[in-house]
Structure 1
């Protein structure tokens, strides 16, 4: 399994099931994520914030939680995570951004 992917036991249940039942698919997915991460000059914290922003824009609560957990593990300031959600207000709207704030707060408060 690629280094940048959590152990299957630590994944949300549906991802854990996929990793356990189809490890070759999971490994290919993890390798793609690693290749995309390594494809350019963006630093680690910035990548994490960008991925959080993409998850917020996609309105994926599970992905927001995943990126917040990883960001916190990597030492990203919780205020920076909330700031990402606030930056979405002019683009995706107040309600969607506020939903993202609540998802971030699920793990930071």
Structure 2
């Protein structure tokens, strides 16, 4: 992920500590290349991990990146639905709404470019 794509707080840390950001980015790349999963599968796994961690920001980020990588909104929403038996209905519904923040923005959000 490019430093400019980071949420503001993370972007500020990356600017103040570029050596840490570089090491973090290299670790992410090494982890992605450590096994046989293709890019789409890896993105779905990362989305699932973000859902499991309850991280709205990470769910938004992985959703945006997945869409940029041509994954369908339906596939991303299915990841949220798959979390129901493991994480529970409330967490899955929250995750689904976070995904839909990106895949199905409200008209006011679309007008603002959110």
- Shorter chain as denominator, the TM-score bin is over 0.9
So what's the TM-score if we normalise by structure 1?
0.93
Aligned CA RMSD, in angstroms, stands at: 0.6
Q: Which consecutive unaligned segments of at least 5 residues does structure 1 have? A: none
So what's the TM-score if we normalise by structure 2?
0.89
Q: What is residue 22 of structure 1 aligned with on the other side?
A: 17
**Residues 98-107 or 8-17, more deviating:** 8-17
Moved over 3 A (4+): none
Following TM superposition, by how much is the alpha carbon of 1:101 offset from its aligned partner in structure 2, in angstroms?
0.3
May I ask how many residue pairs the two structures share in their alignment?
104
Q: What is residue 74 of structure 2 aligned with on the other side?
A: 79
Following TM superposition, by how much is the alpha carbon of 1:10 offset from its aligned partner in structure 2, in angstroms?
2.3
TM-superposition CA deviations, 1:52-71 (whole Å, max 9, x none):
00000000001000100100
1:38 and 1:9 mapped to 2: Cα distance?
23
Following TM superposition, by how much is the alpha carbon of 1:89 offset from its aligned partner in structure 2, in angstroms?
0.2
Q: How does 1:21-60 map to 2 (within 5 A)?
A: 21-60=16-55
Q: What is residue 62 of structure 1 aligned with on the other side?
A: 57
Q: How does 1:82-93 map to 2 (within 5 A)?
A: 82-93=77-88
Q: Which consecutive unaligned segments of at least 5 residues does structure 2 have? A: 105-114
Q: Secondary structure at the match of 1:33?
A: helix
